[in-house]
Structure 1
Amino acid sequence: MELLKFLLFICLMTGACALETQSHLKISRNGYQLLVVAVHDSVPDNPALFEKIKTTFTKASKVLYTATRNRAYFQKIFFLLPNTWTNRPEYKPSTSVTISGADIIFSAPRSTRRNFSHTRMYAGCGHQGFHTQLLTDIFSNSHPLVQSSPEKFIVHEFAKLRYGVFEEYSSPGENQFYFSTTYGRLDPVRCTVGLRGVIKNGQAFCLFSSIDPETGEFPPGCTYIPYPFRASGTASMMDHQYVREIKDFCDDDQTPGHFSHNVEPPNRQNRLCSHRSTWDIISNTPDFLNNANPPGSLSDSQLTPQFIVFRAPSRRRRRLAVVLDPPQEFHKRLRLHQAVDHFLTEGFDDETKVAIITNAAHRKGTRMRSRRSAAVKSSLQSIDQFYSLSTMRSRIRRGIEILKKRNSTKEGMEFHLIVISCNNQSGFETEVLQEMATTGITPHFIHCGENGIENMEKIRLQGGHAESRNQRSIFYAVQRLSDKLHDEKDVSVQISNENIELDGDTAYHSEFSLDDSLRGELTIRLHYSTSEPSVQVVAPNGSECIYKSTDRKLRYIRLTSLVSHNEQGKWSITIKNKTPNKESINVLVMLQPIISEDEVPIRTNAWVKVFHEHSPPRVGVYAEVMNGGHPVVNANVTAHVYHEDRKVAVIPLRDSGGGFDIMKNDGIYSNSFTEIESQGRHYVEVMIEDVLTNSEIHRTYELQLPTEKDTEDDQHDLHAPRLDYHTEKIPLRHRLKRSTSSGEFHVDHRWDSLSGGYDYPPARINDLTVTRVNRKDRKVSLSWTAPGSDLDNGRASSYEIRYNTNGTALVLNPKKGMLVKEDMLGDTSGKPKEAGQVETVTVQFPAKMKWVAIMLRSIDENNNAGEFSNMVTTYFVL
């Protein structure tokens, strides 16, 4: 318990928990603190492996210190071991450190939910990612990306996670070679030319004379294989970092003899980060900007991390004190009580104890009870009772007293104070938060009033959930809180969450689909306002859902059904208003899944990111659709943005790899919100509905190709084995439907003066590619994803295409490149397509050009130009 209190206090004092990632990671005086490394329960108990992991992180701390030029190392690492591992005296029990909040997760190599090592990112280029997933086979010397240096691979992935940089070698499915305008030949995709290697096909070398004059490519099977040593220069950690000489990140130092960042190759770092070097990105993150954490001089012993080892409890024993501050209006108070009943009824196990606190003076009715007890139900059914606004502080104090009284060191015990306020209370006082931090109580605050939440950031820093919502979204708010309080395997899947207005003597008919990944207990809750409607739910096989209960005091109907494989598909629901008066109804459909290692449901998550480095700030809206560790692609995802009770925008979210979406088919769908004329708090609800059944699960597996060497006698020149990937595409037989929400975001009134009348430029194009080259006629066909007139929305007015024979010069100053004029364009309508669609154009370049580098940008109707795209190169004559 003392260690748990210390952890919570440190998190509060250091500001360590990122909002988008649930990470506790923080840097202070060059040291990264509270790095959480979790071992997935697919890894069998193995003390020797665990010792190797700790040894590797000790080495990685020194590697990171060197790579960041003596600016950062791992100071304190929290390990979380699964409860399937044997308990040992040195392991501390934990409920606050969870795998969902881990920065790095180790899984078994053949775990069906995580099949290759990678870092999950959504923004990049200086912005922190979600987490890093590593397979324990990285500790095998034969792994292609490790090569007996797992500590360097960990730093390579940590740089992606923390700093948002990308690989500088070719990614799976991308060309390993590009045309270098600097050297006038094909060259391997790499950060610096100092990274040496060979181009081979099996045992045979691939010569430049073997390049196909039509395709401009080496024969099939030719691949670039770096030497594991003998590199010239020490960069880059993002490009085959296992090479012995590599110890730095690529920079922009142009000193003669220094192998600096190569801006030409079409790797992810260049393509997504405007051809900036990795060190330029890293040194401009908050960790190091403005001389934060300046270079030091630490010894090896000082660079050795402190390890604190936790073990997940075999079961969780939750104690919840729920403090209510409902609104005065009866219909709003009713919705709140319905939402809290839903929160407590669905999902929690019978170990959970609850106290409902509506009046601090009623002490007899506020002791801990079973969540299903008659006393808890009675408290929620007493909708008409009087709530004194003046006693809110005392209610919070009463909740803390109850939790402190029940405090225990028993394994798995956790204590949560949940406040839901729709009136005068707008947060926790600082001294109250400090008291809860030192007593192991996690604070949570949901606000449905007009004001924001005080100390919201501190609440989140203590591991709590803090969220503002309008009244119509209260069910989303309690669902997000429920998700936070549960392990992934226990979280219910929300199919839909609808608010409907039903006129008198009318019926509402709707359909929802249960896709292939869903199996378990289906629950449908109808929360009505005045008079009980009739409801009929019909399964795909034509049978009716017959398990029904009604709570007439809380005014809801609950229907349940066990769903097996033969009940997946289209369900229908019919609701009839039997009175002449209008009725407001909330319809909530969810499923508590049955989970195994081989069978997990498709889950969704949504969030909003405000990019303050732009002027005015840009708002990115994101939704994740995943099946375990595998992305679901081709889903139809839309974000509905509300300001107060008014819907201000419906935004299509795309997984196209263009604009705000940095990676195609990674299961993260994104777009921008540009309707900033509505100022103040905004809420986002995300709907996933695959009407045409186009959704696919993409399961990717590592494929290791054998080690190769130059000759039988040249044993010291062994080349690294190569890594490839195989993606299995699994189409869904039934329609995919989900509903989720993000937290709030604020549109500041000052954005108006920064935006020049709310006029955003088009988004940057980051997926420009060459699709075909007619070398004889010097015609180059280009393709890219169309941006909009306002970032990723609408339709741009025109494109500006620039070219140069020197790629580096074009990147450094695109405006000085030559302009592609209209008479150089081939088949094109001249009018850009709608945002998200694929653009194609053919450009005929002047005679006598040997090669060319190309960039472009889009321009809107007000002549606002976006940033220039990534650069592509090709040649006509060698």
Structure 2
Amino acid sequence: MKFLYLLLIFVVTLQHSAGTHIRIKNNGYELVVVAIHESVKENAQMLTSLKKIITDSSKVLYSATRHRAYFRKVFFLIPSTWSSGLADKDSTSVNLRDADIIISDPSSVSRRSYPRTRSYAGCGHRGIHIQLRTDVLFNSRHPLVQGKPEKYLVHEFAKYWYGVFEEYPNPGENQFYFSTTVGRADPVRCSTGLRGRIMKKTQSGIQLCSYDSIDPDTGEFPEGCVYYPYPSHNQGTASMMDHSYIQEIKDFCDDDQTPGHFSHNVEPPNRQNRLCSHRSTWDIISNTPDFLNNANPPGSLSDSQLTPQFIVFRAPSRRRRRLAVVLDPPQEFHKRLRLHQAVDHFLTEGFDDETKVAIITNAAHRKGTRMRSRRSAAVKSSLQSIDQFYSLSTMRSRIRRGIEILKKRNSTKEGMEFHLIVISCNNQSGFETEVLQEMATTGITPHFIHCGENGIENMEKIRLQGGHAESRNQRSIFYAVQRLSDKLHDEKDVSVQISNENIELDGDTAYHSEFSLDDSLRGELTIRLHYSTSEPSVQVVAPNGSECIYKSTDRKLRYIRLTSLVSHNEQGKWSITIKNKTPNKESINVLVMLQPIISEDEVPIRTNAWVKVFHEHSPPRVGVYAEVMNGGHPVVNANVTAHVYHEDRKVAVIPLRDSGGGFDIMKNDGIYSNSFTEIESQGRHYVEVMIEDVLTNSEIHRTYELQLPTEKDTEDDQHDLHAPRLDYHTEKIPLRHRLKRSTSSGEFHVDHRWDSLSGGYDYPPARINDLTVTRVNRKDRKVSLSWTAPGSDLDNGRASSYEIRYNTNGTALVLNPKKGMLVKEDMLGDTSGKPKEAGQVETVTVQFPAKMKWVAIMLRSIDENNNAGEFSNMVTTYFVL
């Protein structure tokens, strides 16, 4: 029992950002979490089948990683609607959205539309999660599985955990490319040892497309010709990132050039080559932290040793939260007021009536610190006592008092969870190690929000115990408590934050603003105005002209709260007018949020934001990301900006793009990205993300899977069976009303040593990863190219020039692009001269020399200081066959 309880403590770690809870130790991956979505009906046999698939996957992974990695310990999270007898233990504080693998029913189209692995950070970096569906994983004839679900799972795990990508063409991508190696069109595949047939449907049946049928003018096969790899009888054993179900495939493609070995094919325009600078998948995987510098060297394990240990947890039918909130406010009254207002907001909005709270401001006052309802008069009174200076006890004693209260209330009831929340704006900067150990053994989850000058001690240990830890400046305290609230709630219970503004209102003046509720929102709208000195007047008007009349005021905590129930006919533009009735300046925080009504077919558009520091570069690079999703479907064409603060000063406003260029690796996937390059200010930085669709351009892209049938040759030979293909249909749904959201990410730290690493903050332009050929004039040898413009500093600003290189040998160009021939000025046409601003589409036409039969092309951008970016992905075309 004690062993299972400790496992429960480990599982809680998945509350941290996805991907960070898995650990590899002595070649074995531990804490891999597989969550079954509530849309899946109870099925004990499915659970047994899942264990079999993962056991087989462990052996496949061990072979594919050359005896370096396998699955040692796997946790299942089953829905609360499933029988308790299927689980080893009920779980608490486990959130499905943070699992590594999420399995849903195909009927859950509004949340999880089609199988995929969500990624954002690019080559060699971990993704968000793996999304699977029951009708894919357990259908032996599905195109992605083909009777080998264990190989399919390893294929997806490699994308998620190692940051590699598909080596086959995805739907919508070209199935063929011009190969400079063989001098003709060839199927997009990793290894040339991958054999198959090119066929097309005709009225009389299936017809083979021979290489003789290639049109010499277009260089393409006849319309309708499709490449079908053989499910067996292939040469070579790679690649797991290509059609992994093929019988002979068991390895990742490498760069071994030994005669007879079918190594990585650098030429095809697949995602792996495009996003990973044409490096092989094994080159990427072997250089991840799991294996770099001989970490986890090859072993020799038996099949029984490769069988994972499985522990099944069951989500609680309801959550009973016990919160001990320890406050350490600043001495300044206005900052202390903001902190108390934020904590009141945290407790008032969102939690159910099962939640019990103790507010701890003084360890000596024991009578006032027992657990009470979050809406109780005692809790409200504790927060309204803003004049206290908390000088009668130390923070250490207050934390100790919080632990004592939670231990006293400890219980084994289903769904019971215990959280110690410390918000410190003074000298306290974290939990001591022995205190964290005590909380781990007693089932208490630690959380720490710091709004002082120092950083947080033991931040990673707090997060490893499933807690939330972040530093914030005083102006961002409402964002901090909102992020903590999101962490403590299930996805369906998280409120939607529309806006979070801090305004300064001069005396006897009015502030007028508008916000929009889009098509996906209905539920209870809440507007909170937190003022500093004197109560302002406020008027909120709905789209139908009616006023928001449900209003309450707390004059001790100095805020006004307005609520309204929003139905479909109240979506659209709302207006808010605030008037300062005094001659003095007033500081006001305006928070607009909605608690949505959710059904399986109707979910709100949600946002999430995060920051990633890429330490492999010198100086490190900072990527800023925001996700805008409607259930499992991306929202595209949104206007997303990141506002970066250092202390109380805004240092940058960054446009985030979903263009598929530079830091943004995938176009129209709902993840908006860019880099932060203005790092003259050292120390902690905070990011707030605003989404405001002024022109109503946003669209929901709902994508559905289309399975194409198996094809057979007309010839009677041993290769008559060919795998079916997969395609997708995307339904584009425009929003009728404007989209508006507000969220924030965690902090990031700019180290003073970054300056010495670069001799200044002069970043090169970002790598171009979406170079394409748009048109070819074969007679005149003119090639039109297109790509997304990077900036002068990564993805910001405007580059100074482009350097275009070419070669008749694509492999040689990839291996050494600088030795390729340079496109000179007199070879260029259709250009405006100066490069465009970052994020815009560039086009150029190049006229290549006479007598060239074909060409491979790469380019890079150069800034005004002659700093060159990395070379782009390679494209090929031909002039004469």
Give TM-score scaled by structure 1 length. 0.98
Which of 69, 77, 81 in structure 1 is aligned with 2:78? Answer: 81
Q: What does the per-residue CA deviation read over 1:500-532, in whole Å, with 9 as the maximum and x for residues that have no partner? A: 000000000000000000010000000000000
Structure 1 residue 24, shift from structure 2 partner: 1.6
Which of 95, 98, 102 in structure 2 is aligned with 1:105? Answer: 102
Match of 2:129 in 1: 131
The 1-side partners of 2:94 and 2:494 are apart by 17
Map 1:606-621 onto structure 2 (within 5 A). 606-621=609-624
Change (3 A) 1:513 1:409: same
Match of 1:567 in 2: 570
Which of 782, 786, 796 in structure 2 is aligned with 1:783? Answer: 786
* Contact kept? 1:686, 1:741, Cα under 8 Å: yes
What residue identity is the alignment partner of 1:315? R
What residue identity is the alignment partner of 1:542? G
What residue identity is the alignment partner of 1:156? H
Q: What does the per-residue CA deviation read over 1:631-687, in whole Å, with 9 as the maximum and x for residues that have no partner? A: 000000000000000000000000000000000000000000001111100000000
Which of 92, 96, 106 in structure 2 is aligned with 1:95? Answer: 92
Change (3 A) 1:77 1:741: same
Match of 2:738 in 1: 735
Alignment coverage as a number of residue pairs: 875
Match of 1:117 in 2: 115
Match of 1:220 in 2: 223
Which of 438, 442, 455 in structure 2 is aligned with 1:439? Answer: 442
Which of 795, 800, 809 in structure 2 is aligned with 1:806? Answer: 809
What residue identity is the alignment partner of 1:387? Y
Moved more, 860-869 or 108-117: 108-117
The 1-side partners of 2:200 and 2:392 are apart by 78
The 2-side partners of 1:166 and 1:284 are apart by 15
Structure 1 residue 10, shift from structure 2 partner: 5.0
Match of 1:303 in 2: 306
Which of 545, 552, 555 in structure 1 is aligned with 2:555? Answer: 552
Structure 1 residue 215, shift from structure 2 partner: 3.0
Match of 1:753 in 2: 756
Map 1:3-14 onto structure 2 (within 5 A). 3=3, 5-7=5-7
Match of 1:463 in 2: 466
Match of 2:496 in 1: 493
Corresponding residue SS for 1:147:
coil
The 1-side partners of 2:685 and 2:51 are apart by 44
Q: What does the per-residue CA deviation read over 1:472-496, in whole Å, with 9 as the maximum and x for residues that have no partner? A: 0000000000000000000000000
Match of 1:183 in 2: 182
Match of 1:163 in 2: 162
Match of 1:696 in 2: 699
The 2-side partners of 1:457 and 1:33 are apart by 18
Structure 1 residue 68, shift from structure 2 partner: 0.3
Corresponding residue SS for 2:140:
coil
The 2-side partners of 1:356 and 1:2 are apart by 31
What residue identity is the alignment partner of 1:662? I
Q: What does the per-residue CA deviation read over 1:745-804, in whole Å, with 9 as the maximum and x for residues that have no partner? A: 000000011122210000000000000000111000000000000000000000000000
Gaps of 5+ in 1: none
Structure 1 residue 306, shift from structure 2 partner: 0.3
What residue identity is the alignment partner of 1:174? E
The 2-side partners of 1:90 and 1:426 are apart by 39
Gaps of 5+ in 2: none
The 2-side partners of 1:234 and 1:379 are apart by 67
Structure 1 residue 139, shift from structure 2 partner: 1.3
Moved more, 670-679 or 208-217: 208-217
Change (3 A) 1:579 1:771: same
The 2-side partners of 1:21 and 1:310 are apart by 19
The 2-side partners of 1:280 and 1:44 are apart by 41
The 1-side partners of 2:742 and 2:863 are apart by 34
Moved more, 245-254 or 115-124: 115-124
What residue identity is the alignment partner of 2:152? F
The 1-side partners of 2:66 and 2:551 are apart by 65
Structure 1 residue 4, shift from structure 2 partner: 5.8
The 1-side partners of 2:653 and 2:824 are apart by 37
* Contact kept? 1:80, 1:98, Cα under 8 Å: no
Corresponding residue SS for 2:48:
helix
The 1-side partners of 2:578 and 2:219 are apart by 64
Match of 2:595 in 1: 592
Q: Is 1:511 the equivalent of 2:508?
A: no
* Contact kept? 2:230, 2:719, Cα under 8 Å: no
Corresponding residue SS for 1:478:
helix
The 2-side partners of 1:19 and 1:858 are apart by 37
The 1-side partners of 2:721 and 2:106 are apart by 25
* Contact kept? 1:23, 1:103, Cα under 8 Å: no
The 2-side partners of 1:124 and 1:139 are apart by 30
Map 1:149-160 onto structure 2 (within 5 A). 149-160=148-159
Corresponding residue SS for 1:526:
strand
Structure 1 residue 19, shift from structure 2 partner: 5.5
Structure 1 residue 7, shift from structure 2 partner: 2.5
Identity of aligned residues (%): 88
What residue identity is the alignment partner of 1:169? Y
Q: Is 1:241 the equivalent of 2:244?
A: yes
The 1-side partners of 2:211 and 2:56 are apart by 40
* Contact kept? 2:14, 2:99, Cα under 8 Å: no
Structure 1 residue 588, shift from structure 2 partner: 0.1
Corresponding residue SS for 1:88:
helix
Moved more, 84-93 or 190-199: 84-93
What residue identity is the alignment partner of 1:77? V
What residue identity is the alignment partner of 1:117? P
Change (3 A) 1:449 1:565: same
Q: Is 1:201 the equivalent of 2:197?
A: no
Match of 2:139 in 1: 140
Match of 2:841 in 1: 838
The 2-side partners of 1:19 and 1:829 are apart by 48
Q: What does the per-residue CA deviation read over 1:87-136, in whole Å, with 9 as the maximum and x for residues that have no partner? A: 21643100133212210010112321212110000013111111000011
Which of 360, 374, 398 in structure 2 is aligned with 1:371? Answer: 374
* Contact kept? 2:789, 2:839, Cα under 8 Å: yes
Which of 413, 416, 421 in structure 1 is aligned with 2:419? Answer: 416
Q: Is 1:33 the equivalent of 2:22?
A: no
Corresponding residue SS for 1:840:
strand
* Contact kept? 1:8, 1:462, Cα under 8 Å: no
Which of 839, 848, 853 in structure 2 is aligned with 1:850? Answer: 853
Change (3 A) 1:547 1:709: same
Q: Is 1:42 the equivalent of 2:39?
A: yes
* Contact kept? 1:8, 1:437, Cα under 8 Å: no
Structure 1 residue 9, shift from structure 2 partner: 5.7
Moved more, 613-622 or 91-100: 91-100
What residue identity is the alignment partner of 1:641? V
Corresponding residue SS for 1:78:
strand
Change (3 A) 1:714 1:33: same
The 1-side partners of 2:516 and 2:389 are apart by 42
Corresponding residue SS for 2:492:
helix
Which of 540, 544, 553 in structure 2 is aligned with 1:541? Answer: 544
Structure 1 residue 388, shift from structure 2 partner: 1.4
Structure 1 residue 2, shift from structure 2 partner: 3.5
Structure 1 residue 619, shift from structure 2 partner: 0.3
Q: What does the per-residue CA deviation read over 1:290-348, in whole Å, with 9 as the maximum and x for residues that have no partner? A: 11100000000000000000010000000000000000000000000000000000000
Match of 1:681 in 2: 684
* Contact kept? 1:119, 1:130, Cα under 8 Å: yes
Give TM-score scaled by structure 2 length. 0.98
* Contact kept? 1:41, 1:82, Cα under 8 Å: yes
The 1-side partners of 2:860 and 2:300 are apart by 45
The 2-side partners of 1:389 and 1:223 are apart by 78
What residue identity is the alignment partner of 1:103? D
Structure 1 residue 56, shift from structure 2 partner: 0.4
The 2-side partners of 1:626 and 1:71 are apart by 36
